[in-house]
Structure 1
Amino acid sequence: MNRSMEFNEDGVLSVDFLAGFTIFMIALIMVISLLPGILAGIESEAIDYDAVAYRTSVILVEDPGWPSNPPWNQMDEYHKADIERMGLSLSKDTPNILSQGKIDLFFNRNADFALDEDDYRSKVIFGDIPYLYNFSLRIDGEQPLFVGQEIPESSYGYQRRLVKVKEESFAHINFTDGSHPEYSSSRVVWNVTDPPHQADFAVEMDYGELYDRSISPAYRIDPRSEELGFDMENMLHSLDWNLFLNNGTMTLEKVRLYKVLDDGSSQPLPYNWNDWNNETYIFYYGNTPGSSEASVLNGSSFPKTIENETYIRMDLNPPLPFSDEMTSGLRVNFTFNYIWDGSSDPISGHRYLSGIHEYNYDSDNVVQPYLVDGVMEVAIW
């Protein structure tokens, strides 16, 4: 017994002590390893908000949203629940290049339906916490856009992203600028006993030509997802002045849409044709849109007779009829009726509108899509 005590006093540890010390060290190491995770939630709330703001900004400026074909901004109020993400980019291949149509709906500039706070939280922020938010977009030359609440003085996450906004194409058809003399004809020889003369003028889109994959989506004219518009001005001024001096008339009798096939044949669409419950087109006459003197019609309110009008505009809403069929196209056909009160020159005859304006990548025909600088700001708290 005495020998055993002497042996322990020489510095040899017992088995019980070694086992206890080992368990203590393992427990200590485990506690130390768990401390960063335990303290992360109280270490810095600003870092968490910044992470949410960054993730939200990525969704807004780099993601096209879902569904993507047709894009989510073409949904109507009855299909709003089908929208899963509200990204603003044109496509997955064009990060930081935003779609004007998606911007309009996101910032409630679209009359179809309005988004509410739950929509922004569930389709953009994707957080379990009911975050407050402020989304703003400044586009060069336009008034700033924003949705959400007023940003607090502190304790919020913030991201600022430089973006480009795609401005959509538009065709200006001016019958007096001389660039398209073939759009007015003068082959009608007239006297006071002749019946009225009827003639057509059309604007035509070839889907196969427009959807050219060699052109970047940032500059592509896409009838499936973008509004296509055109206006016609100085129609009366391009015709005979004695048409007006002698009480003659030029009357727009009807506007019809035609599906143009690859072989050149065409089929008229019904007056009430629409897709996704949106009107296919909006028709302005008398003055530019927004003017107190402008009158507005749409696909369901035609036919309507319009007499001696000198300005017409049409906005064609996406998706255009059959625009997913690359072997077809769309023709917007205007039928005018002319009555001249008095005889014409027997050689030149009276002038009237005719021809087809091609909506394509010719800059003489259409103002091409272009990019405008913008700044997207996201604040989350």
Structure 2
Amino acid sequence: MITLIYVATLIPTLFLGLQSSSIDYDAVAYRTGVILVEDPGMPYNPSWETLPNTSDSQILRFGLALSKDTPNILSPEKINRFFCSTEFVYPDDYQSRAVFGNYPYLFNISFQMAGSNVTQSVGDIVPENYGYTRRVVKVKEHSNATMDFSGFNVNPITGQPSENYTQNATTQSFSVYFNYTYLLDNGPDNNNPAYQINPLAPSGSSGITGGEGALINLTDLNQIPQNYGGINTTVNLSGIMVYRSVSLAPLGTGQSPFVGPILNSTNPIQFELFVDGNSTPVTNLPIPVNDSVSLYIPPGLLSFLGQGDSSTLLNVTMQFNLNQQDWYINSTQMPPYGAFDYNYTNPYITQPQLKDGVMEVAVW
């Protein structure tokens, strides 16, 4: 009996020397990698990456997954917020939200998109011995709309422009509308969030932050004006207006469902607006336009302007002023709402795509 008690007491210490720190660190690195790429984080509604700096204490867990249903498919907004050194402090903020445990681990977490030379990282310089995990992931890229006017021409028989969204006037508008109900209910692959155009915050969110952005490109605009009478037509982008509706006007009635504008801006700081390929965003309108306009609607703005309501129709309009009557882009005659439909079937829309990336976690 004494021998049996002695052996039972001795057994736990027999294997003590076999437990290496590398095995422990590998496990911690693996667990951290799983949390980051398979979990959307906490809180989920509203999503943690949308919370302002003053609400950092509400962020309980970092997770970069797009949603609970899309492990290994990451959100670009969550990636950028996670690696923002002005938002979070290493190691304290990351220790409690990504690595967990009471042991004061040191670590390095990095991410790189396929084909990119830029590596985002947080943490210390990696030593000789450390635990390690590497995860190959996908990142959801936002959709965008691109209208190329390089083929614009006048019909030689009628003398009218071949594009049906132009008219002879000095004030012309190009509008894009977002039908939130359609976008949220008719996404590809059984409405898989990975391929869905989602203008709203996660379903059930009590806030109005979150949701994806959208990019609208108008290119080769210098092909449109006909410069009547030998006088060059000059064009100015004079304003950006946003209209909203939460009910659909009956089709065929000629009625527009939009009211407003709820936003009428000559200082488009809510957006990122670029003209003629310049890399500096425009901050004041009007501004002359020659060749191109790129309007980027950042994540969260569509949700805010739509008041977080899935029954919203939102119309974003760019207004152009010409120095003389001429042909230019004008979507007021486009059915059904006099605007360019941002949807899943429009041939001018590049749908959300998944791009490869690599997440690496080192722990010691």
Q: State the alpha-carbon separation in 2 of the partners of residues 240 and 272 from structure 1.
A: 29
**Which of residues 271, 274, 279 is equivalent to 1:284?**
274
> What does 1:173-212 align with in structure 2 at a 5 Å threshold?
173-177=147-151, 182=163, 184-188=165-169, 197-212=170-185
Map Cα deviations across residues 296-323 of structure 1 (whole Å, 9 max, x no partner).
Answer: 33xxxx6x21234432112212222226
Corresponding residue of 2:13: 35
Query: Quick check: 1:184–1:351 contact (8 Å CA) kept in 2?
Result: no
Q: State the alpha-carbon separation in 1 of the partners of residues 183 and 163 from structure 2.
A: 23
Q: Secondary structure at the match of 1:138?
A: strand
Map Cα deviations across residues 225-272 of structure 1 (whole Å, 9 max, x no partner).
Answer: 2221112122232122348x5244322221111113332422335449
**Which of residues 58, 66, 69 is equivalent to 1:82?**
58
Report the RMSD for the aligned CA atoms in angstroms. 2.7
> What does 1:1-80 align with in structure 2 at a 5 Å threshold?
22=1, 24-25=2-3, 27-28=5-6, 30-32=8-10, 34-35=12-13, 39=16, 43-80=19-56
> What does 1:145-184 align with in structure 2 at a 5 Å threshold?
145-154=120-129, 156-177=130-151, 182=163, 184=165
Query: Quick check: 2:275–2:289 contact (8 Å CA) kept in 1?
Result: no
Query: Quick check: 1:200–1:354 contact (8 Å CA) kept in 2?
Result: yes
Question: Are 1:364 and 2:347 matched, yes or no?
Answer: yes
> What does 1:127-146 align with in structure 2 at a 5 Å threshold?
127-143=101-117, 144-146=119-121
Change (3 A) 1:329 1:323: farther
Matched letter for residue 129 of structure 1? Y
Corresponding residue of 2:286: 305
**Which of residues 295, 316, 320 is equivalent to 1:336?**
320
Matched letter for residue 112 of structure 2? R
Map Cα deviations across residues 51-90 of structure 1 (whole Å, 9 max, x no partner).
Answer: 1101100011100111223322222222222211121111
How many angstroms does 1:25 deviate by?
4.6
Corresponding residue of 1:7: none
Q: State the alpha-carbon separation in 2 of the partners of residues 173 and 119 from structure 1.
A: 44
**Which of residues 248, 253, 269 is equivalent to 1:263?**
248
Question: Are 1:249 and 2:223 matched, yes or no?
Answer: no
Unaligned runs of 5+ in 1: 1-21, 189-196, 274-278, 345-349
| Pairs aligned (count) | 322
Range with bigger deviation, 231-240 or 89-98 = 231-240
Q: State the alpha-carbon separation in 1 of the partners of residues 193 and 24 from structure 2.
A: 35
How many angstroms does 1:182 deviate by?
4.1
How many angstroms does 1:333 deviate by?
0.9
How many angstroms does 1:380 deviate by?
0.5
How many angstroms does 1:184 deviate by?
3.9
Change (3 A) 1:234 1:30: same
How many angstroms does 1:175 deviate by?
2.5
Query: Quick check: 1:357–1:365 contact (8 Å CA) kept in 2?
Result: no
Question: Are 1:235 and 2:217 matched, yes or no?
Answer: no
Range with bigger deviation, 119-128 or 322-331 = 322-331
Q: TM-score, normalised by structure 1?
A: 0.76
Q: TM-score, normalised by structure 2?
A: 0.80
Query: Quick check: 1:284–1:295 contact (8 Å CA) kept in 2?
Result: yes
> What does 1:309-328 align with in structure 2 at a 5 Å threshold?
309-319=290-300, 320=302, 321-322=305-306, 324-328=308-312
Q: State the alpha-carbon separation in 1 of the partners of residues 14 and 295 from structure 2.
A: 62
Change (3 A) 1:28 1:272: farther
Q: State the alpha-carbon separation in 1 of the partners of residues 213 and 14 from structure 2.
A: 53
Q: State the alpha-carbon separation in 1 of the partners of residues 264 and 34 from structure 2.
A: 40
Unaligned runs of 5+ in 2: 154-160, 201-210, 250-256, 332-338
Corresponding residue of 1:14: none
> What does 1:340-355 align with in structure 2 at a 5 Å threshold?
340=324, 350-355=326-331
> What does 1:100-115 align with in structure 2 at a 5 Å threshold?
100-108=76-84, 113-115=86-88
Q: Secondary structure at the match of 1:103?
A: helix
Q: State the alpha-carbon separation in 1 of the partners of residues 108 and 341 from structure 2.
A: 43
Change (3 A) 1:101 1:357: same
